[in-house]
């Protein structure tokens, strides 16, 4: 019997002013082994050294993205340009700020084939390079893990959908059958929109934490972190103001119980101080149990309490930009930003057969 042909993968990286992180990303992909692949970098009208860096890798094909048409997101436009003429069986859409572990590409294709997935997406390990990243990122990713449980995302009968645009592997035939990124070209949160389109059309999703496969440092400054989450939070959480209120009250309750315990102890009322201390321990333990869903390092888990008020403020800011201002800015481009009615849900999934956990 002749050996089975090895699947081919086209790795497509949209890049707009990514000179700081693109070299590491390309080096980690170019050295992948055990699978046949090609790399395409789509230079999205960069004004820095992004194109020169990509061209320095002999194995990389560099294409230039056309200027996006009105109503088409910049990243969507770049990805649409990147897939033109590609014939590989699999397409990997990944971001320039990612690092790919050795052997991860072959392992991802094997995992997708094992699970019969038309779209496989990993939520990358988060690299945290500053105190503000350590404080905020675990809070947000723990909330995402609670809102989008992988078991429900992967259940075709559940309305929950999710994908992380930093790592989306798709069967090209399935991708083309639903018009790929062209079908969601006006959506700011293109990864979730793409996953929703797949699920609504009966295609199989497989979503999981990408430990040992891919990692990323999403933001390298406080300003970009705030800008990025302002763009996305209102589209990730169905009731952002309710969530902001809940988490704000949680933060106040934790701080109040700690202060009350200390004040009562200082007054010599040790019995009430112990009661307040027990309340504090219960609240902080519940918070820490939730935070650990984000798979963050221990120092970040401990710092995450400071991220709660920041998360609350960004939820409110994201809602204001969507409902009041009606637009967000990202990488020098402004986009209209109406919030979806049901973020991360597929309208055609069989909701009655699979209740959604809140």
Domain range annotation of the chain = 9-124+164-220, 130-147+221-335
pLDDT score recorded for residue 339: 53
Model confidence over 305-334: pLDDT tens digits?
999 999 999 999 999 988 766 666 655 655
Model confidence over 257-305: pLDDT tens digits?
999 999 999 999 989 999 999 999 999 999 999 999 999 999 999 999 9
- Token duo for residue 264: 């009562």
Residue 162 has pLDDT above 90, yes or no: yes
Span 77-93, average pLDDT:
95
Residue 47 has pLDDT above 90, yes or no: yes
Tell me which of 17-21, 106-110, 265-269, 346-350 is least confident: 346-350
Which pTM was predicted? 0.88
pLDDT score recorded for residue 358: 28
pLDDT score recorded for residue 81: 94
Confidence of residue 73 (pLDDT cuts 50, 70, 90): confident
Query: pLDDT averaged over the chain?
Result: 90
Half-sphere exposure (Cβ direction) of 240: Cα atoms closer than 13 Å: 28
pLDDT score recorded for residue 103: 97
Q: Which CATH class is domain 9-124+164-220?
A: alpha beta
Model confidence over 10-28: pLDDT tens digits?
999 999 999 999 999 999 9
Residue 97 has pLDDT above 60, yes or no: yes
Model confidence over 225-244: pLDDT tens digits?
999 999 889 989 999 999 99
Confidence of residue 340 (pLDDT cuts 50, 70, 90): low
């Amino acid at each position: 019997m002749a050996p089975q042909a090895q699947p081919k993968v086209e790795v497509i990286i949209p890049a707009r002013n990514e000179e700081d992180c693109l070299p590491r990303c390309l080096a980690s992909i170019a050295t992948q082994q055990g699978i046949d692949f090609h790399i395409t970098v789509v230079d999205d009208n960069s004004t820095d050294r992004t194109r020169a860096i990509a061209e320095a890798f002999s194995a990389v094909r560099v294409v230039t993205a056309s200027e996006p048409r009105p109503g088409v997101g910049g990243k969507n436009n770049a990805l649409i340009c990147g897939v033109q003429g590609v014939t590989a069986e699999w397409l990997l859409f990944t971001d320039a700020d990612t690092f790919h572990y050795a052997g991860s590409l072959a392992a991802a294709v094997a995992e997708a084939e094992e699970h019969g997935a038309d779209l496989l997406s990993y939520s990358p390990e988060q690299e945290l390079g500053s105190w503000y990243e350590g404080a905020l990122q675990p809070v947000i990713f723990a909330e995402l893990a609670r809102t989008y449980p992988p078991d429900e995302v992967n259940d075709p009968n559940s309305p929950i959908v999710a994908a992380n645009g930093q790592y989306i592997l798709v069967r090209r035939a399935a991708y083309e059958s639903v018009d790929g990124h062209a079908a969601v070209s006006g959506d700011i949160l293109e990864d979730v929109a793409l996953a929703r389109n797949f699920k609504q059309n009966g295609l199989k999703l497989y979503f999981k934490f990408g430990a040992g496969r891919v990692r990323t440092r999403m933001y390298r400054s406080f300003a970009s972190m705030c800008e990025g989450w302002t763009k996305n939070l209102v589209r990730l959480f169905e009731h952002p103001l309710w969530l902001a209120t809940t988490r704000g009250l949680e933060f106040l309750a934790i701080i109040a119980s700690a202060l009350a315990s200390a004040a009562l102890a200082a007054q010599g009322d040790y019995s009430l101080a112990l009661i307040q201390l027990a309340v504090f321990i219960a609240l902080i333990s519940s918070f820490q149990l939730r935070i650990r869903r984000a798979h963050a390092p221990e120092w970040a888990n401990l710092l995450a309490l400071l991220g709660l008020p920041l998360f609350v403020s960004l939820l409110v800011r994201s809602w204001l930009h969507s409902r009041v201002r009606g637009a967000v800015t990202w990488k020098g481009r402004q986009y209209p930003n109406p919030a979806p009615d049901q973020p991360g849900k597929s309208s055609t999934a069989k909701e009655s057969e699979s209740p959604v956990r809140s």
